[in-house]
Structure 1
Amino acid sequence: MPQQNASAKPASRTLVIGVVVFYLVAALAMVTANKWVLNTTDIPLFFLWSQLAIAALLFMVSDALRLLPDRLTFNLETCKGLIPMVGLNVFGLSFSNYTLKYVDASFYQVARGMILPFTVCTSFIFLHSRPSLRILLCCGLVTFGFFVGVFLDGTPLSLVGIGFGVASSAITALHSVVIKQSLNVVGGSALALSWYTNLLSAIVLLPLLLFAGEGAGVVKLFFGVDELLVKEDAMSPFATFAWGSFITGVIGFLMSIASLLSIKVTSPITHMVSSAVRGVAGSLLAIWLFDDIITTGRASSIAIILLGSILYTWVKHKETPVAPAAARRVSYERVKMDDIEAGEKPTKL
C-alpha cells in the first residue's frame, strides 16, 4: 500500500460516518438481494458468476473512461501469484451463497459465526502469533454463541446450510491470512487486487458451475416455461435473477472502489461496531422482508456472537502496542468487513 504523508490531516467525522454508512447499506443490500434471488433459483454458482462478471465489466468501463486513479493492467505473472487468493475467493463466495440458500437470512450470521475462532487459529498456525488467554476466552464465547444457535434455535435447520456456513467461515479465515501476500503481488494496490480478483474468479467459476451441473438450470432460466406461469403481479424468475445480479454486481464494484477510501478513514474498531450494527439490522430486515422467525435461541446466539466479537476487538486494541497517530494512519490496512484480522505481525515502516 502506498505510504501516506505522515503529516496528513485525519479524516473528518463526516467522511468517516459517510464511509461507515455506505458499508452498512451496501452489505445489507448484498445479503438481502442475494437471498431474494436465491429463494427463486437453483443455480447459485451462475448467480455468483453473474455478479463477478458485472463487477469486472464495470472495472473495464471505468478504466476506459479514465474514472479510476490508476490504470488497470493484466499480467500473467501477476495472475500466477494470485492463484491462492482467487481459489479462496471462489470457494468462499460459493459456500457463502450456498449457506444463504439453505438457511434463513436471519440465521446467516449464526451459520457463519465461527469466522473469529477460525481466524485466530489460522493466525497461530500460519503467522505463528500466539493468542493471549483473553483472546481465547473471546473465541470461546463466540463458539458458545454458535452452538447456542445450532442446538437451541427451536426451528428446523438445514445441516447442509450449517455445513456450508462453517466451511465458508474457515475459508474466510484463510483469506484474511492470504490477502496481505496478495497485496504484495499487485504492488500494494487494493484497486488492482479487486480488479484481478473479480476477473479471475469469474473465469475460474465458469467451468466449475458447468461441472456442478448448473448448465441445465441456466438453459431453463433463459428459455424455460416458468416465465409463462408467472402470476400477473409477480416478477418472473428471469427478471428477479437479472435485477438481483445487476444490483449485487454494481454494489460489489462500488465496495471495491470505496475500499480505497476506507483504508484512510476507518479503523478495526469502527469495522467491528459496524459489523455488530449490520448483524442486528440484517436480522430485522429478514423478519420484515422474508417473514423469518427470530426465536429466543437465535436471538441469544446472535447477541453472544456479537458480544464475543466486540470484546475481542476491545482486547486486541488494548494488547496492540500504541504507536504515534501519524504512524497508525500509515500502517493500517483495511480488511473486508466480514473478516476479523487477528494476530498479524506488525508491519515495519
Structure 2
Amino acid sequence: MTPITGKCKENTLESKMKDRKSELCSRYIKIFVVVSCYWIVSIVTVFVNKYLLSGASVNLEAPLFITWFQCIVSFTICFCLSKTGGIKGIFVFPKGTPWNKDTFIKIVPVSILFTVMIASNNLCLKYVGVSFYYIGRSLTTVFNVALSWLLLKQVTSKRCILCCAFIILGFFLGVDQESLLGSFSLVGTIYGVIGSLTLSLYSIYTKRALPFVNQEVWLLSYYNNAYSIILFIPFIILNGEYTAIWNYGHFDSTMFWVQMVTGGICGFAIGYFTSLQIQVTSPLTHNISGTAKACAQTVIATQWYSESKSVLWWSSNIMVLLSSALYARFKQVEMQVNSRRIVPEDEKSLI
C-alpha cells in the first residue's frame, strides 16, 4: 500500500506543477498581449493625433475643437457601455450617471484639470514633432516631486531628486539640440510643460476623487469626458477657433469624419489599455513600459518623418528615459520598505 500511496502523491504533485506552469504561461501570454496592445494603441494614437492636428489633409486650424470632438466620441462610447453594463466576457462597466448635482460638485475640479491636461497635450503635439513630444512632456516626474513637497509636505529621497535633476538636464539639452536643428517650437514646449504640470495635479486630485466614484477609474473617465464637453466650449471660443470652424469647407466630407471618429476611438482605447496594463501588471511596470514605449515611439518618428538627429539630441532622450526608469525603480524600493512599517494616513503619498 505504501508504494501506491507514494506514487499517488507524486502524481498529484506533478499534476499541480503542470497546472501551475500552465497558469503562469497563460498569465505571461496575457501580459504580453496587453502590453503589446498598449504599445500599438498608444503609438498609433500619437501619430493619428499629429495627423489630425497638423496634417495637410485635415487642414483644420482648430486643435481644441478636434480634442473636444474626441471627448464626445469617448463620452458616447462610455454612455453606451454604461447602458449595456460593459462588454460581456471582457469587462463590466460600473453603473453611474454624471448628471447628478453632488457628483458634479465633487468631480468637476478634476474634470477642469483633465480638460486643461488633454488640451495642452494636443496643443503641444500640434506644434512639436512626434520625435520631440516625449522630451516636451518629460517634466511630469519633476512636477510630481515638487507638488508632493509643496502640497503634501512629503520629502523625497536624494537619489530620486538626483534623477529629477538629470531629467531637467536632459530636457534642456533636448530643447537646445532641437533649437540647433531649427525645429524647436517655444509655444509647443510651453504647452508641453503645462501638460506635465496639469498631469501631476490631475494625479493628486484623481486620487482624492476616486472615493466619490467607489474607486472606479472607468466611471471617473466617463464623468470627465461628460464635463469636458461643456468645459471645452469657452476654451474654443477664447482660442478664436470659431472663425476657422465657420470657414472650414470639409464638414461634408465622409473621410474627414472617419478620421475624426478614428481619433476619438484611439483616445478611448488608450484609456482602456492603460488601465488594463496597470491591472495585469503594476503601476511600476506601467511606468517602465511607458518609458520604453516612448523610446520606440521616438525612433519610429525619426524614421517615419525621415528626420536626422545629432548625437547630443539622442543623448538627451537617453538621459531622460534612463533617469525616469531609475526614478520609478527607486520609488518602488522605497514603497516596499515603507510597506513594512505603519504609516499615518496624512503622510501617505497621493501620487
User: Per the alignment, do residues 292 and 128 of structure 1 end up closer, same or farther by CA in structure 2, a change over 3 Å counting?
Assistant: same
Counterpart check, 1:92 vs 2:108: no
Aligned partners of 2:38 and 2:274 also within 8 Å: no
Distance 1:289-1:110 versus aligned 2 partners, 3 A rule: same
Q: Which residue of 2 aligns with 1:58?
A: 77
Aligned to 1:301: 316
Residue 172 to residue 260, structure 1, CA distance change in 2 (3 Å): closer
The answer to whether the 8 Å contact 2:163/2:324 transfers is yes
Deviations 1:216-256 (Å, cap 9, x if unpaired)? 211222458xx9xxxxxxxxxx6665333212211222334
Residues 26-66 of structure 1: per-residue CA shift (max 9 Å, x gap): 11111100111111331100000010000101111223333
CA–CA distance in 1 between the matches of 2:269 and 2:125?
22
Equivalent position of 2:97 in the other structure: 73
The answer to whether residue 28 in structure 2 is matched with residue 13 in structure 1 is: yes
Partner of 2:343: none
**Partner of 2:196: helix, strand, or coil?**
helix
Q: So what's the TM-score if we normalise by structure 2?
A: 0.81
The within-5 A match list for 1:1-349 is 12-40=27-55, 41-67=60-86, 68-74=92-98, 75-153=100-178, 154-156=180-182, 157-222=184-249, 241-258=256-273, 261-322=276-337, 345=348
Is the contact between residue 136 and residue 192 of structure 2 (CA under 8 Å) also seen in structure 1?
yes
Question: How far apart are residue 118 of structure 1 and its match?
Answer: 0.8
| Amino acid of the structure 2 residue aligned with 1:79 | F
Structure 2 vs 1, CA of residues 313 and 263 (structure 1 numbering), >3 Å: closer, same or farther?
closer
Gaps of 5+ in 2: 1-22, 87-91, 341-345
Aligned residue number for residue 3 of structure 1 = none
- What displacement does 1:209 show? 0.5
Structure 1 pair 292/76, CA: closer, same or farther in 2 (3 Å)? farther
Q: Compare 241-250 and 102-111 and name the one that shifted more.
A: 241-250
What is the CA-CA distance between 1:322 and the residue it aligns to? 4.9
Seen in structure 2, the aligned counterparts of structure 1 residues 190 and 302 have a Cα distance that, compared at 3 Å, is: same
Amino acid paired to 1:45: L
Q: 1:25, CA displacement in angstroms? A: 1.2
Classify 1:160/1:132 alpha carbon distance in 2 versus 1 (closer, same or farther; 3 Å).
Answer: same
Q: Using the alignment, how far apart are the partners of 1:344 and 1:222 within structure 2?
A: 56
Query: Between Structure 1 and Structure 2, how many residues are aligned?
Result: 310
Tell me, what secondary structure is at the counterpart of 1:152?
Answer: helix
Root mean square deviation of aligned Cα: 2.5
**Structure with the greater relative contact order (CA < 8 A, sep ≥ 6): 1 or 2?**
1
In structure 1, the partner of 2:10 is none
Q: TM-score, normalised by structure 1?
A: 0.81
Uncovered stretches (5+) of structure 1, i.e. residues with no partner: 1-8, 228-237, 326-342
SS in 2 for 1:254: helix
| One-letter amino acid matched to 1:56 | F
Contact 1:268/1:313 (CA < 8 Å) preserved in 2? Answer: no
Aligned residues: percent identity?
Answer: 28
CA distance in 2, matches of 1:37, 1:22: 22
| Greater fraction helix | 2
* 1:288-320 deviation line (CA, Å, top 9, x unaligned): 333333332321111100010011011111212
